[in-house]
Each structure stands twice: as structure tokens, then as C-alpha cells.
Amino acid sequence: MDINYFSKVRILDGGMGQALLAKGLKAKGSLWSATALVNEKYHKLIIDTHLDFINSGVDVIVTNNFCARRKRMIENNVEEHFNFANEKAGELALKAKKISKKNIFIAASLPPQSDTYAADRGDKNLIKKGFFDQANLLKPFVDFFYLDVLSSIREIEIALNVIDSMNLPVLVGVHIKKNGKLPSGETITKMVRECKSDNWLGLIGACVSPEIIENTVNEIKTLEIPFGFKANLWKEEPLPVDKIIKVDEDGFGANPISILGSRNDVTAEKFCDFSKRMVSNGATILGGCCETKTSHLNAISKLKQI
């Protein structure tokens, strides 16, 4: 893959988890989107959701293993399916690409190995093992790695060290809080200066509101790296899983939308207008995360540069 791929405007896909829930996925506990990997009856649903994104005009789809990290698998008593779920995420993404017959790329999701939206201060060796195991299972199916909503320099460094020997480039996705910093309290500039290497494809704000993206663009555009976003449309600022999880008596987890809400006021047209402003500021990597719809992606796909 050309390391300069994101020097032109490209479109990333939307949030798989919320899209699957909207299509009827019944999620087990905090396993959420990974339920569709463990339970084979949902495999077609994953393929169809990837295809929906592809047909919306995206250039990149991300594997559906965000919640297939070992910690979530253990919490939901399905750790024995860890290898199967992560490998299946790559396999189903590749199958969708082949069905589409379109020249898209597949990114391997490397999610935080503990909570989302919070810096992981756990055992370094366990974090390293989690990243390695997922990356190793996904590598045969993908074109590059995507550090998917990481929250600290420490985690990013561990992940980068793991994939350094795998000979694939990486897109770095960091979560950013309202104060413009990572959840660890570190600045975006400090992270880039300490972590950037020659195999970086770019940097994006991951699962971040449009407002936070706009408020940080002046800092990011000075870092001399392709940049952009995967924007969420939650009404509330996203929270770690233990703050939003609701499990019914049958063990099924409620949709996070019941706590965080959805910004239905951000229409496809408004999302496109926001994206245009970011492109005018130099952004070349555009995409959606939780609660963005195919209509949002279809609208911004018109901003692509050939």
C-alpha cells in the first residue's frame, strides 16, 4: 500500500457496532458488535453492513473486531472464541470486498485492550499480548492496521512496537476529549512527536464529536501528517463501558444509544458541510463512527479527490 495514500481525500466507513444493532443484532452483554462474530447466524449481517458502507462510496472498511478484545471476551464467558472471532472479522471483511468487486482497502481494527475512552494503565505485557494476538490473526486479510480509538501515548507506543515487525503501515486513531487532549491528559502534538514513524499513513480523531474535531484542527494541521476524523454522532460525550452497560435478565446488552442518545439533527447535508470545512483546513481522511449512517457517508463521498 502506498504510504502516501491519504495525501488525497479518502473516505473511511462508519461505526459497525451501531449499524449492526440498528439492523437487528441482539448483543450479548458488553460484547456488543463482537456478538455477530461469535454467533454465526449474524455473519451475513456483517457482510451486508460492510457492503452498505462500500456502496456508500467509502474507500476503506474496518474489520468488525472492536469488541473482540480479550477482556470483553472474558467478561462475557466466550474467551474460547477469541481466535475464531478475530480471524472471522478479517475473513468477512475480505469476503465483502470480493463480493463488491470494488478496489477498496481493509483496515485491521486494533482497539484499546481494556476500556474505551479511558487510558489503559494495566499490565504492559498483557496489553502487548492483546494487540499482538489480534494483529496476528487479522494480518492475512488486511492492507493496514488502524489503532482504533486509543487514549494514551503508552498504549499507542505498545501497539506500534507490536506491529512494527508486521510490515504493514498504520493509521493512528486517537480519542480526544473536550479539552483537546487525549483521555490520558497528553496533547496530540506530544503524542505525534514521541510516536510518529515512517510507516504512519496518517492521524485521525477517532469516535470524536464534530465540534471537538473542529476545535483541534488548528493544532493537528501543523503536524505535517495526513489527518482527519471518524466522527461520532452521540448526543452525550462517550463513556467507558461500565458507565453505560445495561444487561437484561436474559444477558442481552442494551444499545448504548439508550444512555448516550443520537444526534438526529446532524443530517447528511450538515455532516457534509462540516466535512467540507475540515477539507478546507487540510483534512484528507473523512469518515464516521457511532451513529453515523450510510447517508452521511454517501454525502461526504462526493468530496473525494481522484
Count of Cβ atoms closer than 10 Å to residue 296 Cβ: 26
| Residue 35 Cα distances to 20, 71, 87, angstroms | 10, 14, 14
Q: What is the CATH number of the domain that holds 255?
A: 3.20.20.330
Q: Are 59 and 106 in contact (CB under 8 A)?
A: no
Range of the domain at 246: 5-303
pLDDT in tens, 101-134: 999 999 999 999 999 999 999 999 999 999 999 9
In this predicted structure, what is the pLDDT of residue 255? Answer: 76
In this predicted structure, what is the pLDDT of residue 239? Answer: 66
pLDDT in tens, 243-268: 666 555 555 566 777 788 899 999 99
In this predicted structure, what is the pLDDT of residue 252? Answer: 57
In this predicted structure, what is the pLDDT of residue 72? Answer: 93
Count of Cβ atoms closer than 10 Å to residue 206 Cβ: 26
Sequence-distant (≥ 6) Cβ neighbours of residue 306 within 8 angstroms:
8
In this predicted structure, what is the pLDDT of residue 234? Answer: 92
CA triple 111-95-289, angle to 5 deg: 35
Q: Which residues does the chain have with pLDDT short of 50? A: none
In this predicted structure, what is the pLDDT of residue 47? Answer: 98
Total domains in the chain come to: 1
